[in-house]
């Protein structure tokens, strides 16, 4: 089945008008809400480097979270299909964004660092190899124009003694 199309809708509403609109760069908040039907809103802002609120999610963090979550979802599904029982998965992802003299910028790379614990008796080599397949399948990683790498750690769970 080729060519299936999926559409997504979100609403981003600026909530940072502090009374004077955007009369000056310092005169307004970068606060906004990200919403989708049936889901709780996400409180967003810009990065603190760009006058943002550090207590709110910024677009750069959301992009990094999207890449990490997409990889994880593909990986878990591939493991389930291959008979690899994942007991724990945690990713401490990092991204590098380069800002140029004009103020524009772009991500230059993302490194995913999944730490995976698989059940005793599962094949750690196959568990490792499935990260490459997850990367190749991830919708978000396939959509960006910078490298998304992964450096996974695979551990076997301690066998249970009953």
- Structural domains of the chain, with CATH: 11-50 (no CATH), 59-156 (3.30.300.20)
Distance, CA of 101 to CA of 150 (rounded, Å): 30
DSSP strand E in 36-85: where? Answer: 42-44
Quick one: tokens of 115? 């730490």
Handedness of CA 20, 21, 26, 28 (dihedral sign): positive
pLDDT for residue 3: 85
∠ CA 94-100-102, nearest 5°, is 140
- For 126, phi then psi, to 5°, come to -65, -40
Q: Across residues 133-146, what is the average pLDDT? A: 97
pLDDT in tens, 12-59: 888 999 988 888 888 899 999 999 999 999 999 999 989 989 999 999
pLDDT in tens, 106-139: 999 999 999 999 999 999 999 999 999 999 999 9
Question: For residue 162, is pLDDT > 80?
Answer: no
């Amino acid at each position: 089945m080729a060519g299936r199309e999926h559409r997504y809708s979100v609403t981003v509403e600026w909530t940072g008008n502090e009374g004077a609109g955007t009369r000056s760069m310092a005169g307004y908040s970068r606060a906004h809400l990200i919403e989708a039907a049936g889901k709780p809103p996400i409180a967003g802002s810009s990065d603190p480097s760009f006058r943002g609120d550090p207590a709110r999610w910024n677009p750069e963090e959301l992009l990094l979270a999207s890449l990490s979550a997409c990889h994880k979802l593909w990986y878990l599904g591939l493991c389930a299909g291959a008979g690899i029982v994942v007991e724990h998965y945690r990713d401490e992802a990092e991204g590098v964004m380069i800002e140029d003299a004009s103020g524009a910028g772009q991500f230059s790379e993302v490194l995913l660092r999944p730490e995976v614990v698989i059940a005793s008796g599962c094949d750690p080599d196959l568990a490792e190899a499935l990260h490459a397949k997850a990367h190749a399948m991830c919708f978000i990683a396939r959509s960006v124009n910078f490298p998304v790498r992964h450096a996974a750690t695979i551990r076997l769970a301690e066998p249970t003694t009953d």
